[in-house]
Structure 1
Amino acid sequence: MNFNKETKILLLSLAITLGLVGGGIYYLFKDILPGGNQVSVNISNSANNNQSESRISAGEISLTPGDVSVAKRDGIAAFKSGKYEEAVNYFQAALQSKKNDPETLIYLNNAKIGNKKSYSIAVSIPLATEPNFALEVLRGVAQAQNEINLQGGIKNTPLKVVIASDDDRVELVKDIAQNFVKNSEILGVVGHFASDATLAAGEIYNSQQLVAISPTSSAVKISNFSPYVFRTVPSDFMAARALANYMTTKLNKKKAAIFYNSQSGYSQSLKSEFVSAVSLAGGEVSHEFDMSKPDFSAAQSIAQAQGVEVLMLAANSQLLDKGLQVIQVNQRRLPLLAGDGFYALKTLEISQGQGENMVLAVPWHLESNPGADFPQKSRQLWDADVNWRTALSYDAARALITAIETNPSRQGVQQALKSGNFAARGASGELRFANSGDRNAPVQLVQVKSQPNSRSRTGYDFELVRN
């Protein structure tokens, strides 16, 4: 096969598809975008702006990229001026035009608190660099805050949420973590997003004794990293073994090629665990391709992978586009496996039929526990289905809420989470932590399937793999 010729055709097709998808997304979701006049909030997110003060807000600035409605802008101005009743009215109006904006819901709940006594937690996410994934995390935290405050708060004390936009950049993450530990009102942190960010911030949280619970950082290195760092997402050890088992038993394949990002701690962790798991199952990962290299070519890599029976995509979200190129070039010749970084609307939009039957390991799926009420409540709140990032962020916030209820101090929160008696009610049931800081929970295998009436509106959905 002439892979160079095929690559040019596929890349041209991919570029056209991206353009069409962009227009399609706007058309599909224009009804939930802020209506009327739009105004831009001039918040600098450049690499030169390293001051954490401009990246942290309880309602004083908008950290979400893009245009801001007039109502939300006026709510922010009123909040900043201490006119909390006015801010409440404006934020309520803003939510009427854009129901699925978690930042506005958090600011609304914070405005209702005003200067009254409250307990505070923070959430740190890469809003500027990974806005879609970051908003998914923020929805989980916002839902937990909204629920507890509607119930009267934590023992009659409302919960305030502080938001930070950290870009997943180590130096900025550290700066924000230092800001959090200096703010004595913050009793815990939901974050960070990438494993490298959680490890960097975790050193500061450990030395200053502030709890952080990551809903998305799965690198094995985080286990036992610090008595102050927890996570609601299972480690890559679990995901890798589930995928390796599926490859060797369900697919009955023994030889794989893996695509990863050597610059990502998460990606390297998943790669290493998958290689070990396949080897233990009697298989082999015969080829490894680093997608972060400037000369990486999906077509050339697949051409080099002679004798390979399965392709495993272990890249993080930053290299999602390169992973989608692999899917396109593969043309459904070989079975595809992937980590949770590929659980994204973009995967369904771009891969279309080429990604059908790809199997991913994820921590949670809305169909995994039919008896749980979380999917229904979240659908009602956001007017849309949510995914694992929202569910596990909700769990992280619920864990902090439960710990604060036990003892509303930093040390009390840590002791509660470490206690063998600790249990919180999460999106999919009871939530407990092992001594390592990990959550005792399995992963779910999902598969890309064609669905005429798909939830994603792409014609495809991530569906549970049934035994």
Structure 2
Amino acid sequence: MSKRNEIPALVVSLLVTLALLASGLYLMRSRLPLDAVAGLFRPGTPVRPVSRQVLAGRLSRGELSLLPGSVTPTIEQGLDAFAAGDYATAVKQFEAALQNQRNNPETLIYLNNARIGQAPSYTLAVAVPIGTEPKPAQEILRGVAQAQQEINQAGGVNGVPLEVVIVSDDDDPNVAAGLAGLLVDDPDILAVIGHFGSSTTLAAAPIYQAGELVMISPTSTAVSLSNAGRYIYRTVPSDRLAASALARYMLTDLDSQRAAVFFTSESDYSRSIKNEFTTALLSDGGDMVAELDLSSDNFDAGQLVRQALQQDAEVLVLAANTATLDEALQVIAVNRQQLPMLGGDSLYNPKILEVGGNRALGLVVAVPWHILDRPQAPFVPSSRQLWGGDVSWRTAMTYDATQALVAALQSNPTREGIQTSLQAAGFNPAGATQPVRFFASGDRNQPSQLVKVVEGSRSGYGYDFVPVDLIPATN
């Protein structure tokens, strides 16, 4: 075809495309509030769609395992029975599997779902990064599983059992946005617990807000999630509180003024805690002497630490996200305890103790919760008995998110009713160790606390995270 003949065809094609876009926007605007539509197209929202067929294989009530490498023959038989609607056999097989894998939260959730069978239930979804971050994913699932177990054993929510759908988003913003659309379209889903990383949560939040489906994240701390909409909440304190606690510790306890921060430029969470720490430090008279990118193509831990030292840094701040935890460990190794180190909650990870070893000694991390802080709370011995060991802050914050939703369901078991209850004056259900309260922004009304890496035996690696307040001054 000649160029002369191509031009009219291109013009017609362009006009048709513009007409389709205009009609699509008109339909969306007619169905959704104007601010919701604007939110769907705000900068940073994923634009690469994921097919619904692919997404459908990322949800399970008990018919398939989403945890890699965790399926035993007994679990497989339970999954097959659940998929076939043989819930009695599924219960038997899942119970047997838990005798050998007591700390498998996916199996416990499926067991509780199988016990419900076809009976009426209230359904929540929990979105976790199973494929990319299986350990944090299981920590989150333990919080949901424990709450579901306790609630159903106590008779359910006003006599109705709680069902949980597990959703695997791989901490991928595009996948999470697609899954959010599926969950919004499923009328059985009354609320969502998730997502994991701040970037992923920010990508999914406009979908939930537009679809008027409550989402409570137990792990996303980026300040930009505040005021994302009246259906968006979190049970973890924002980075602003964590950064303020770290800055005060640096200036007061360490008596230091000059910091160098290592961050991940591609991560909303990492940029958030870097910016909030810098603001808090400068406001109180400190100085940020260097900002060093852990995700740069030519990353060299030795070179970056030398650069921090050349800038007369007195403290290293590790604002790494989960994806750059290995790079943060390289910085810890190269530093060799030359300078004190501070970090965000992503560094609360067994790898810091196992791989960092004695070079991580003295590292102070801001976390939302620690099991030693209030050991007398009923949640602490219950979680140890159920899982066979200590649980992390991710488990506790997810437990709190589930308890908040259950309390809301008791008042009004509808999507709109849940949102109304969460924001109601006086809403403060009991959490793992503290009541769950929300600001009008959707943020959790709870301070961060600081923990420190010290020698110890609780973790099994020879080192433990221990609340700073519990460490004798001689340490």
Same fold (TM over 0.5): yes
**1:200 CA drift (Å):** 1.1
**1:375 CA drift (Å):** 1.2
Using the alignment, how far apart are the partners of 1:419 and 1:129 within structure 2? 37
TM-score norm. by structure 1 comes to 0.89
Mapped pair 1:369 → 2:374 = yes
Counterpart position of 1:121: 124
Counterpart position of 2:447: 442
Counterpart position of 1:33: none
Q: Aligned partner of 2:104: which letter? A: D
Q: Aligned partner of 1:108: which letter? A: L
Structure 1, residues 404-463: CA drift from partner, whole Å, max 9, x if none? 111000000000001112121100121111100011101110000001xx1110000000
Q: Aligned partner of 2:109: which letter? A: I
Matches within 5 A, 1:234-253: 234-253=237-256
Mapped pair 1:291 → 2:289 = no
Counterpart position of 1:40: none
Structure 1, residues 306-364: CA drift from partner, whole Å, max 9, x if none? 11100000010110000000000000100000000000111100111000011000000
1:257 to 256, 260, 278: 260
Using the alignment, how far apart are the partners of 2:182 and 2:416 within structure 1? 18
Q: Aligned partner of 2:229: which letter? A: S
1:197 to 194, 197, 200: 200
Using the alignment, how far apart are the partners of 1:381 and 1:338 within structure 2? 30
Mapped pair 1:269 → 2:261 = no
Using the alignment, how far apart are the partners of 1:277 and 1:171 within structure 2? 33
1:342 to 339, 342, 347: 347
Counterpart position of 2:396: 391
Using the alignment, how far apart are the partners of 2:458 and 2:52 within structure 1? 38
Q: Is the 8 A contact 1:51 1:175 kept in 2?
A: no
**1:371 CA drift (Å):** 2.6
Mapped pair 1:422 → 2:427 = yes
Q: Is the 8 A contact 1:211 1:229 kept in 2?
A: yes
Q: Aligned partner of 1:232: which letter? A: T
Using the alignment, how far apart are the partners of 1:424 and 1:231 within structure 2? 14
Q: Is the 8 A contact 1:404 1:412 kept in 2?
A: yes
Counterpart position of 2:413: 408
Counterpart position of 1:97: 100
Mapped pair 1:360 → 2:365 = yes
Using the alignment, how far apart are the partners of 1:432 and 1:303 within structure 2? 44
Q: Structure 1 residues 325, 50: closer, same or farther in 2, change over 3 A?
A: farther
**1:67 CA drift (Å):** 4.0
Unaligned runs of 5+ in 2: 1-49, 471-475
Q: Is the 8 A contact 1:231 1:396 kept in 2?
A: yes
Mapped pair 1:109 → 2:86 = no
Q: Structure 1 residues 48, 130: closer, same or farther in 2, change over 3 A?
A: farther
Using the alignment, how far apart are the partners of 1:106 and 1:50 within structure 2? 24
1:465 to 449, 463, 468: 468
Counterpart position of 1:69: 72
Matches within 5 A, 1:204-223: 204-223=207-226
Using the alignment, how far apart are the partners of 2:195 and 2:130 within structure 1? 12
Counterpart position of 1:230: 233
Using the alignment, how far apart are the partners of 1:50 and 1:283 within structure 2? 53
Counterpart position of 2:29: none
Using the alignment, how far apart are the partners of 1:355 and 1:421 within structure 2? 42
**1:212 CA drift (Å):** 0.4
Mapped pair 1:313 → 2:318 = yes
**1:51 CA drift (Å):** 1.5
Q: Aligned partner of 1:432: which letter? A: R
1:180 to 173, 178, 183: 183
Structure 1, residues 72-131: CA drift from partner, whole Å, max 9, x if none? 000000000000000000000000010000000000000000000000000001001000
Counterpart position of 1:10: none
Q: Aligned partner of 2:452: which letter? A: Q
Using the alignment, how far apart are the partners of 2:214 and 2:139 within structure 1? 22
Q: Aligned partner of 1:54: which letter? A: G
Using the alignment, how far apart are the partners of 2:331 and 2:401 within structure 1? 34
Q: Is the 8 A contact 1:218 1:233 kept in 2?
A: yes
SS in 1 for 2:413: coil
Q: Aligned partner of 1:366: which letter? A: I
Q: Is the 8 A contact 1:50 1:172 kept in 2?
A: no
Using the alignment, how far apart are the partners of 1:466 and 1:157 within structure 2? 42
SS in 2 for 1:466: helix
Mapped pair 1:163 → 2:166 = yes
> Percent of counterpart pairs with the same letter?
50
Using the alignment, how far apart are the partners of 2:70 and 2:62 within structure 1? 16
Q: Aligned partner of 1:345: which letter? A: P
Q: Aligned partner of 1:375: which letter? A: V
Q: Is the 8 A contact 2:52 2:178 kept in 1?
A: no
Unaligned runs of 5+ in 1: 1-46
**1:303 CA drift (Å):** 0.9
